[in-house]
Structure formats: structure tokens, C-alpha cells
Amino acid sequence: MSTSRESFGTGSLRGVSSLRSGLVDHRMARRHLINEYHRGRLGREEVCDAHPELMRAARGIGKQTETKCPICAVSNVVLVTYLFGPRLQAHGKVIADNKELAEFHRRPDEFTAYVVEACCGCKWHHLVRVVPIGGQRSDRRVG
């Protein structure tokens, strides 16, 4: 998606404590964008512009779905999860599977997972949801 069409970037969500309370779902924004494309208000080059690194992650470790791409209707979309937080690289970490995500969830540090759907056929992509991960506090007392 073109950054000029976004009302805010995903980076603006990082570190906002109100997100700790739950999931942020982007289905309504997704539906709006798809409708604008099908109405001819957005060109394919505006919605099928996924970054090469996202495409590499989608082909390599993306989670396959049964959902057809809403743009090309040929390929199924895959889900790619990026994790951001303390002691991770600035560009985040791509999560390989649910086991790895569960390991981060058990940590005391707070992370934010961004789940992106991507089509390897036409390069459609969209942020699906933002999920708080981790922040598990131990009740054990040392002493």
C-alpha cells in the first residue's frame, strides 16, 4: 500500500501503552481499500507494491491461507508476522511459527506483533492486525 494513502504508519503505534489492552484489527481499512480498487479509484500499482523483503518472507516462511487474493483472485494470500520490541533489530523480527511467537509471549518484555497478509502473485499486501505480545510478569518472589 502506498504510504501516501495511509492515515498513519505502523511505526506510530509502537510504544503506545493503550495497545497493551488488546488487539487492533484492520479489517475495515482493508475492506475500504479493496472497495476503492474495485471501484477504479485506486490503480493496481498503488495496491500491489509490496516491499521485496516482505515478498521474500512471504515466500519463505509465510503461513499459507485458503483466502484468495482480493486483488488478483489467483493466488492465496499468506500471513507474515513481524515482531518489534526491546533488544530486537530496528526492522523487527520475522516470526517463523506459533512456537516462536509463544516463546516471546512468555517473556516479561512487551512486544508488538504486526500480522501482514501478502500475495506472492500480484504483490498485494495489507496490515491485518496488531497484537500485544509478552509482558508476562512472574509472581515468584526471590528470597
| 56-98 confidence digits (pLDDT tens) | 999 999 999 999 999 999 999 999 999 999 999 998 999 999 9
Q: Is residue 139 a contact partner of residue 24, using CB atoms and an 8 Å limit?
A: no
Domains identified in the chain, total number: 1
Instruction: Tell me how far apart the terminal alpha carbons of the chain are, to the nearest angstrom.
Output: 53
C-alpha cell at 100: 516462536
In a domain? residue 143 = no
C-alpha cell at 127: 496490515
In a domain? residue 89 = yes
Helix/strand/coil percent split, the chain, to 5: 30, 25, 40
In a domain? residue 108 = yes
- pTM reported for the whole predicted model: 0.78
In a domain? residue 73 = yes
pLDDT score, position 136:
79
C-alpha torsion sign, points 30, 34, 40, 44: positive
In a domain? residue 5 = no
Structural domain including 111 reads 23-134
In a domain? residue 6 = no
